[in-house]
């Protein structure tokens, strides 16, 4: 059985916009960092230095995740990938305070069956330690490290809005919504490798 790892934050659940909204609610004097030409997956460097600790403290609050919405099409997309005969394993990093929070959220939305002894959920900061057929993630660095460890065309970059810079996705199969994720996953698992060298 083929193994497909799927990232949780900003691939399955729309974390960053909610995190930033909560930050601006608490600190309305700050400018919305999304207005500063945010093209990368990492928005933290756009937060003023004097607010950095407070920004990360908001992420560390486990209650933040209670209100993070599911990305449209994610549930149906995961079901479609499972219907291809693949085992879907959710893999995510967890800051202090979030251990287990994302697992409960996945169960709540029907992406996993149970919280108890779930074998399809992993928390790790280093996803290059994983071995499998494909990873779907919004971070180009994560995708490239997974490819180095598992071979060419084993990563699919999810381009969450706003689309990241073209040089970040160069050489990586990518999709900007879950319909595209399912289509590209099918191609990659069936070894129908499109050329992404010049994108």
Low-confidence ranges of the chain (pLDDT < 50): 197-199
Res 68: pLDDT: 92
CA separation for the pair 177, 158 (Å, rounded): 7
- 195 Cβ neighbours under 8 A, 6+ residues apart: none
Where does residue 42 rank: exposed (0-12), middle (13-18), buried (19+ CB within 10 A)?
A: exposed
pLDDT tens digits, 82-98: 999 999 999 998 877 77
Instruction: For residue 176, give Cα distances in angstroms to 72, 141, 164, 173, 180.
Output: 11, 17, 10, 11, 7
Q: What is the CATH number of domain 3-13+70-189?
A: 3.40.50.1000
Domain ranges of the chain: 3-13+70-189, 15-67
Res 198: pLDDT: 42
First to last CA, the chain: 31
Res 119: pLDDT: 87
Sign of the Cα pseudo-torsion (43, 45, 46, 51, in order): positive
Res 60: pLDDT: 87
Phi-psi region of 63 (alpha: psi -120 to 50; beta: other; left: phi over 0): alpha
């Amino acid at each position: 059985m083929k193994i497909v790892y799927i990232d949780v934050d900003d691939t399955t659940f729309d974390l960053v916009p909610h995190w930033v909204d909560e930050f601006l609610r608490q600190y309305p004097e700050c400018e919305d960092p999304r207005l500063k030409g945010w093209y990368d997956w990492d928005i933290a460097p756009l937060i003023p230095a004097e607010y950095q600790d407070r920004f990360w403290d908001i992420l560390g609050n486990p209650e933040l995740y209670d209100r993070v919405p599911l990305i449209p099409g994610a549930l149906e997309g995961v079901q479609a990938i499972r219907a291809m005969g693949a085992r879907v394993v959710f893999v995510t990093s967890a800051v202090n305070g979030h251990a287990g929070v994302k697992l409960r959220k996945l169960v709540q939305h029907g992406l996993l069956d149970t919280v108890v002894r779930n074998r399809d959920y992993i928390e790790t900061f280093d996803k290059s330690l994983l071995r499998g057929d494909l990873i779907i993630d919004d971070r180009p660095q994560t995708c490239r490290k997974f490819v180095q460890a598992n071979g060419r065309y084993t990563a699919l970059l999810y381009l969450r809005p706003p689309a990241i810079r073209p040089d970040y996705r160069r050489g990586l199969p990518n999709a900007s919504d879950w319909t595209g994720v399912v289509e590209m996953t099918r191609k990659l698992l069936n070894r129908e490798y499109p050329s992404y060298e010049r994108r």
